[in-house]
Homo-oligomer: A and B are copies of this chain.
Amino acid sequence: MTQWVDEHGKLVFDVFAKACTSRATLEHVTGRWGVLTMVALRDGTLRFNALRRRVDGVSEKMLAQTLQALERDGFVHREAQATIPPRVDYTLTPMGRQTADSLLSLVELVESQMVEVEAAQARYDTAKGD
């Protein structure tokens, strides 16, 4: 059971509750590096360092950590070859691709809103200024 209605008949999701699994999982995919990693993997398999170059500013540590969380949740598949030098490929699972699609439409939406967002920020800042 992941949703119910509150005393006013409104739909409430499990994710609103402090101690729930879905909140943690949601944070993995919506986190700063989670979103970018998922969207980057959406158009194909990538190796660790390729992924790192794609997601500007991510450190080794954070990328490794992000990928492990996403792999554990079942969004990302990790394929390691025991060669020298090692080669590790990261791919989205079917479930991961579904989620990445949703994330991508969010990213596209926000990108399309940026002109309006920056206008709103300018208005907000001048209103506070005086």
Interface size class of A (residues with CB under 8 A): 35 or more
Q: Does A89 contact B (CB under 8 A)?
A: no
Task: Kindly identify, within residues 26 to 41 of chain A, every residue whose CB is under 8 Å from any CB belonging to chain B.
Answer: 26-27, 29-32, 35-36, 39-40
Would you call B16 and A26 a contact (CB within 8 A)?
A: no
Which of B71, B107, B120 contacts A15, CB < 8 Å?
A: B107
Closest chain B CB from A107 CB (angstroms)? 6
Given A2-B114, A36-B15, A111-B15, the answer on whether A120 and B55 have CB atoms closer than 8 Å is no
Could you show 16 A-B contacts with beta carbons less than 8 Å apart? A13-B39, A13-B111, A14-B114, A15-B111, A16-B54, A18-B56, A26-B35, A27-B32, A29-B110, A72-B120, A72-B124, A74-B123, A95-B113, A95-B117, A99-B113, A103-B106
